[in-house]
Amino acid sequence: MSVKFRKLALIGIGLIGSSIALAARRQGLAEVIAISTRKAETLEEARELGLGDLYTLDAAEAVRGADLVILCTPVGAYESVMQAIASSLAPGAILSDVGSVKQHVVNVLAPLVPAGVSLIPGHPIAGTEHSGPSAGFAELFAGRWCVLTPGPEVDAAQVEKLVQFWEAMGSHVETMEASHHDMVLAITSHIPHLVAYNIVGTVADLEAATQSEVIKFSASGFRDFTRIAASDPVMWRDVFLTNRDAVLEMLGRFSEDLSVLQRAVRTGDGPALEAMFTRTRAIRRSIISAGQETAAADFGRPHEATPPPTAPVFVREHGGGDDA
């Protein structure tokens, strides 16, 4: 069975919105793709990239007659976007989103959803540190999980249509409660981002001489943190503002574990350190065998070929005038 929507409306057309537009177009998942965003220059960029069929700065116009509407803006913009579109949502439509937190989304959107519209929040667990319409690519969701958090009142047939939409774009789909999603993502995504922002922020505060050495010698652990810490500041501000409870809960556990490590380092407890690092290595291996990471060394980064050996240099004991 293949799903096809009459009109897909994407509100916000950055990395995730543009990737959905490209993947949905490639898989033939919508007859018409309508795109709306806040800034005229972003809309123009989307038009030049040919991401949709209709382009408008008026979100209400984009959603009119749409049977699938997906909010792809930062979560902090949802309330104002929803106020603008609520009265234009078509009966029978699915209203979804891609936000990285889910309970807050339900709290904000549910009271504004008109009767006859199915609210099915979603979160594709896929992304890069790049933003904007040109950052998107159709393969972004392939092999990645997408979590849907429909409430118990939502018609199962509507959920199934959205599941098929994401599966057609290459995702594996799982449904769960919004609060459970937020707890899981707090530890798998939000805390790692907070740690990365903190490590890179510490370097940013170091005195200039040390900082330049960190950057020069960054082909080690630090470099991989900088990729995460380069993620969109507005999106991540909103994640921490809207998933506060789950983040603080997990941060508490993280701090306790860090104290245990700190103590092991201070007391020179080699067996404790080795036991911990052996357990963490096993976790990475299980992520690789689940197909969620490459097993290639150094995250599969291309490396320059080793330069060919140079001819041996013979040093004259008595310098002559011809090789000066």
Contact 42, 59 (CB under 8 A): no
State residue 231 phi and psi, 5-degree precision: -65, 160
- Region of 112-120, 124-132, 195-203, 292-300 interacting with ligand NAP (CB under 6 A): 124-132
Considering beta carbons, is residue 9 or 274 the nearer one to ligand NAP?
9
Within a 10 A sphere around the Cβ of 291, how many other Cβ atoms?
A: 10
Q: Is 121 in the site for ligand NAP (CB under 6 A)?
A: no
Single residue of 63, 127, 163, 225 touching ligand NAP by CB under 6 A: 127
Q: What contacts 233, CB < 8 A, 6 or more positions away? A: none
Single residue of 5, 7, 9, 17 touching ligand NAP by CB under 6 A: 17
Considering beta carbons, is residue 170 or 272 the nearer one to ligand NAP?
170
Tokens for 65? 């007659």
Contact 254, 191 (CB under 8 A): yes
Ranges of H-type helices in 119-243: 156-168, 178-185, 191-205, 208-216, 221-229, 233-242
Q: Is 131 in the site for ligand NAP (CB under 6 A)?
A: yes
Single-letter code of the amino acid located at 282: A
Which residue in 15, 13, 92, 84 sits closest to 52, CA to CA?
13
Interaction pattern, residues 174-193, with ligand NAP; x per rule: CB under 6 A? --------------------
Q: Is 37 in the site for ligand NAP (CB under 6 A)?
A: yes
Q: Is 42 in the site for ligand NAP (CB under 6 A)?
A: yes
Q: How far is the CB of 17 from ligand NAP (least distance, A)?
A: 6
- Count of residues near ligand NAP by CB under 6 A: 28
Contact 148, 122 (CB under 8 A): yes
Q: Is 124 in the site for ligand NAP (CB under 6 A)?
A: yes
Q: How far is the CB of 98 from ligand NAP (least distance, A)?
A: 4
Which DSSP symbol is given to 131? -
Considering beta carbons, is residue 60 or 135 the nearer one to ligand NAP?
135
Interaction pattern, residues 72-91, with ligand NAP; x per rule: CB under 6 A? xxxx-x--xx----------
Within a 10 A sphere around the Cβ of 129, how many other Cβ atoms?
A: 13
Q: Is 15 in the site for ligand NAP (CB under 6 A)?
A: yes
Q: What contacts 225, CB < 8 A, 6 or more positions away? A: 195, 196, 199, 200
Residue with tokens 């530890």: 187
Tokens for 104? 């807050």
Single-letter code of the amino acid located at 6: R
Considering beta carbons, is residue 80 or 259 the nearer one to ligand NAP?
80
As a whole number of Å, the CA-based R_g of the chain is: 25
Q: How far is the CB of 42 from ligand NAP (least distance, A)?
A: 3
Contact 105, 178 (CB under 8 A): yes
Considering beta carbons, is residue 50 or 282 the nearer one to ligand NAP?
50
- Region of 67-75, 106-114, 148-156, 172-180 interacting with ligand NAP (CB under 6 A): 67-75
- Region of 70-78, 277-285, 292-300, 309-317 interacting with ligand NAP (CB under 6 A): 70-78
Q: Which of residues 132-151 bind ligand NAP (CB under 6 A)?
A: 132, 135
Q: Is 16 in the site for ligand NAP (CB under 6 A)?
A: yes
Q: Is 122 in the site for ligand NAP (CB under 6 A)?
A: no
Contact 121, 102 (CB under 8 A): yes
Which stretches of the chain bind ligand NAP, using CB under 6 A? 12-17, 37-39, 42, 72-75, 77, 80-81, 98-100, 123-124, 127, 131-132, 135, 232, 235
